[in-house]
Amino acid sequence: MTTTRAGGRHGRPWRAAGAAVVVTTAMIGAGMIGFALQTTPPARPPQPLAQAGPEVSGPAATATAVPPVDGQPVGQGDVPAGLARSAPTSIEIPRIGVNATVLSLGTNPDGTVQVPPLEQADQAGWYEPGASPGETGNAVIVGHVDSAKLGPAVFFDLGSLVPGDTITVRRADGQPATFQVDSVKSYPKTAFPTELVYGPSDRPSLRVVTCGGQFDEAAKSYPDNIVVFATLVADR
C-alpha cells in the first residue's frame, strides 16, 4: 500500500508514541497531522464547541487519566473489560453519517505516521503499532478532512461530535467495539497532545484524529488537529 507522509508540503510531519516509536521530550507537543489536502476547501469543517485547555502533565498524566464527561471523570467501574486484539475493518459514526473502511497503517522510516493514500481519502486509518479498538489501551484512528480529488473527506464533520455520541468499530473477529464520546478538543498542531493520544492507558479507549481550524490559504494547510476522546461501552 502506498503511504503518504503526514505533513509534507501541507505541514510539518507528526510523530507518534507507541510500540514502534520512542517519544522524547522534544517530540511532546510537536506532533501534528497534515490532513489539509484541498487547495480551496468547499467550506470550513465544523469545529468542536470547546477548545482544549492546558495539556495534562505531571502526576495527573497517569495511565488511568481520561478526558472528563461534563467536567466529571469517567469512573473505573463504568468501563467494561477490554477485548482481545483484533484489527478494525470499518468505523461507523451515526451522528455524522460516517461508515468507512479502516486501513492498517504504521510509521514511515523517519518515524512519521502513515496516513491513508490521497486517492482513498474516504477511508480511515488505524495506527497498527498501538492498541486495537476495544483492546485495553488507546486505539488511534486517523483520517483526512478534505481532498482535492474528493472534496469533503471521511472526517470532515468530526468536529461536530459531542459527548454522548457513539462510534462503532467493526473488527476482523466479528466482535464490534462501541465507544461513547467523552470529549472533542481542538489543539494547535504545534501543541499536539502526543501522550494523551498515543500514550498508555489501562482502559479500552479510542482517539479519532483529523485536521481543523481555519484553512490557511498561504500554507495550504489547517493549523489545528481535532481529537475525539472516547471510551468503550458495554454491549447494549
Residue whose C-alpha cell reads 453519517 in the numeric block: 97
Going by C-alpha positions, the residue among 48, 9, 88, 27 that lies closest to residue 212 is: 48
Pairing relationship of beta strands 124-127 and 137-142 according to DSSP bridges: antiparallel
Going by C-alpha positions, the residue among 153, 133, 139 that lies closest to residue 86 is: 133
Contact call for residues 61 and 123 (beta carbons, < 8 A):
no
Contact call for residues 19 and 116 (beta carbons, < 8 A):
no
pLDDT tens profile 56-68: 433 333 333 333 3
Name the residue ranges covered by the structural domains of the chain: 4-57+86-232
Backbone angles phi, psi at 212, to 5 degrees: -160, -175
**How many Å apart are CA 222 and CA 112, to the nearest integer?**
18
* Longest CA span, the chain: 49
**How many Å apart are CA 52 and CA 48, to the nearest integer?**
9
Residue whose C-alpha cell reads 478538543 in the numeric block: 185
pLDDT tens profile 79-115: 688 999 999 999 999 999 999 999 999 998 888 889 9
Q: What topology does CATH give the domain 4-57+86-232? A: Sortase; Chain: A; (2.40.260)
pLDDT for residue 37 = 44
SS3 category, 65: coil
Q: What percent of the chain has pLDDT over 70?
A: 68
pLDDT tens profile 132-165: 999 999 999 999 999 877 889 999 999 999 999 9
Contact call for residues 143 and 119 (beta carbons, < 8 A):
no
User: C-alpha grid cell for residue 12?
Assistant: 510539518
CA angle at 30 for the pair 36 and 115, rounded to the nearest 5°: 40
pLDDT for residue 44 = 74
